[in-house]
Structure 1
Amino acid sequence: MIGHNSAISAGHLRATILGWRAAHPDVEVDGVEADRGALLAGLDTGEIDIAILVGEANHADFRHASFWNERVMIALPDSHVLAGRETVHWTDLRGERFLLPGADPGPEIRDILLGRLMMAGEPPDIRMHQASREAILSVLGGGLGVSIICEGGTGARYPDVVIGPSSASRDRRSSAIPAIGERTTAIPHCGGSSPSCATAMHCRSTFRERARQ
């Protein structure tokens, strides 16, 4: 079971999962999208073999490694004055209303916004909604505000919405870094022979190869 807390309609994670599945057609692969806390709990109970998390995996009880950076993207109504820009800078977003999901990776994106726009001299207007990112993006074209998404969410299309790169696209410090986790106490008992252990080990190797590309 592969757990993740971000969209996989595009980007490294989607390509990695599909590539690994094509290379190992005899192995059944299942996945679950959930918040960070639920994924860590799943690792603890053994329900999840490997978790790919947006942001740093700063959890002492889990082994983890950083793989790649995902670009930070801006979602705007197609009628917005910035919709035609090749790149949107943080200073361009001062005074905007940001709509974010309360679930992952919304809190991580909120922290990026707070850090960037506070540096620009103005506290951002951030609205956290108990709705999915898909629901927010589906109504964004009505001029309700703007949103920030990770590159993994750019494969889907939403009515009257355009998605483009932000000036943070090449900024590693504010990029989303997926991380892989395993409970350290579980490794000695795994032995490398169980299906779940084999899945985790093969996935880890594949993710590392993808990160080098």
Structure 2
Amino acid sequence: MASYVQALAVAEYLNFRHAANALGVAQSSVSARVKALEDDLGVLLFERHARGVRLTEAGRHFFERVAAGVDQLDHAVKTAGMTASGECGRLHIGIHALIPRSFLAELIWRYRENHPGIGVEITEGTARDAVMQLRADRLDVAFVAGTPELPDCHARPIWTEPLMAVLPEKHSLAGQSAISWAEMVGETFLVRYGGTGPQVHDHIVLRLAGRWPTPSILRFDVGRGTLLSMVGQGFGITIVGAATALLPTSGVVFLPVADEPEPVTFSAIWWPSNRSAALRNLLTLASDMGRPSRTY
């Protein structure tokens, strides 16, 4: 490689002494390496004369291609270094939802601001979908509700959100400042199949277990906005993390669940063998953002 670099310098300066000075090596070293390169190639690259050298036709074509190759190699080296430091590459993130002004939306926005060389790809789905895609190496990290205990994945709590009940604004309890689980006994709950829907379903069953009448839980293959609209039209009620209240909605009210023992935790999960610096930088930022208040 040194022979090519020194020969390129001679091709640029068309003078062995000037090339040697630019490289910080002895002129004799440059002359010897260029001669050895010509011998190896079996081609005369330079025509020597008293004032310096000039490129032969073969030398001109040769150095045009060598220069392009060196540029590509230099780019490859720089790209490899940036990838190793997490400043270049791609990051695949699984989410349950991306609500404007929520913790997760702010996290992804800050990450993209801090690391513009990383292409961020986002996939929305359930926690089960996310785990399957992590195991299939289609996601680098997923943010899910709860604190999953998966023997083959790493998990880290990142932020929390108070639990809210969503009621039609004409509901008899809509004027209260908060609501209890006991007051929701007998209500019809609406739950999505997607997003955090499966976890919402299980949480309702857990909180109302043993109460009478047993909860009626209807599941729908709809988006978050449609489910809130259905609540507003009187189909039933639902429960959500507080970030959902940031969405523009009408016809519904959001009430804190007063007897919920603690807020909902949201965690990052990732594959232990994933050594990506881009992932490490995201997790560091997430922990830094979540540490002071840990709210949505």
TM-score (norm 1): 0.84
Q: Which amino acid aligns with 2:269?
A: G
Q: CA deviation at 1:120?
A: 4.8
Taking the aligned partners of 2:277 and 2:119, their CA distance within structure 1 comes to 12
The within-5 A match list for 1:2-17 is 2-17=93-108
Against the structure 1 CA distance between its residues 114 and 108, is the aligned structure 2 distance closer, same or farther, given a 3 Å change threshold?
A: same
Q: Which one has the bigger helix percentage?
A: 2
Post-superposition CA distance 1:11-39 (Å, at most 9, x none): 32222222222333343322111122322
Cα 1:7/1:79, change in 2 over 3 Å: farther
User: Secondary structure at the residue paired with 2:249?
Assistant: coil
Structure 1 pair 168–212 and aligned structure 2 pair: CA distance change class (3 A)? farther
Aligned to 1:69: 160
- Name the residue aligned to 1:205: 284
Q: Distance in 2 between matches of 1:31 and 1:204?
A: 16
Cα contact 2:124–2:195 (8 A) shared by 1 = no
Query: Which consecutive residues of structure 1, in runs of 5 or more, have no partner in the other structure?
Result: 191-196
Paired with 2:213 and 2:126, the residues of 1 have a C-alpha distance of: 30
Instruction: Report what 2:269 is aligned to.
Output: 181
Give the TM-score taking structure 2 as reference length: 0.62
Offset at residue 168 of structure 1 (A): 4.9
Which structure 2 residue ranges, 5 or more long, are not aligned? 1-91
Identical pairs, percent: 24
Say which SS state the counterpart of residue 131 (structure 2) adopts: helix
TM-superposition CA deviations, 1:116-146 (whole Å, max 9, x none): 2225554211111222222211222111111
2:121 equivalent in structure 1: 30
Who is 1:162 aligned against?
A: 253
Higher relative contact order (CA 8 A, sep 6+): 1
Match of 1:141 in 2: 232
**Structure 1: how far apart are the matches of 2:101 and 2:125?**
18
> What amino acid is aligned across from residue 108 of structure 2 in structure 1?
I
CA RMSD, 1 decimal: 2.0
